[in-house]
Amino acid sequence: MTVQVTVWNEHVHERETESVRERYPDGIHGAIAAGLRTDGYAVRTRTLGDPECGLDPTTIEETDVLVWWSHCANDAIDDEVADRVVEAVHDGMGFIPLHSGKNSKPFVRLMGTSCSIKYRHGGERERVWVADPGHPIADGLDEQFIVPATEMYGEPYDVPEPDRTVFISWFEGGEVFRSGLCYRRGAGRIFAFRPGHEAYPIYHQPEIKRVLSNAVAWAQPTSGASVTTGEVDAVESFDA
Site residues (CB under 5 A) for Zn ion?
100, 151, 197
Q: Which is nearer to Zn ion, 145 or 200 (CB)?
A: 200
Q: How far is the CB of 78 from Zn ion (least distance, A)?
A: 23
Q: Would you say 197 or 209 has its CB closer to Zn ion?
A: 197
10 Å CB burial of residue 53 (0-12, 13-18, 19+) is buried
- Closest approach of Cβ 25 to Zn ion, in Å? 19
Q: For 116-232, where are the E strands, in sequence order?
A: 118-130, 144-154, 164-171, 176-185, 188-193
Residue (of 99, 85, 193) closest to 137 by Cα position: 193
CB of 59 to Zn ion, least distance (A): 26
CA angle 21, 24, 27 (to 5 degrees): 90
What's the full length of the chain, in residues? 240
From the list 25, 20, 65, 19, the residue with the least C-alpha distance to 42 is 65
Closest separation in Å from C-beta 71 to Zn ion: 6
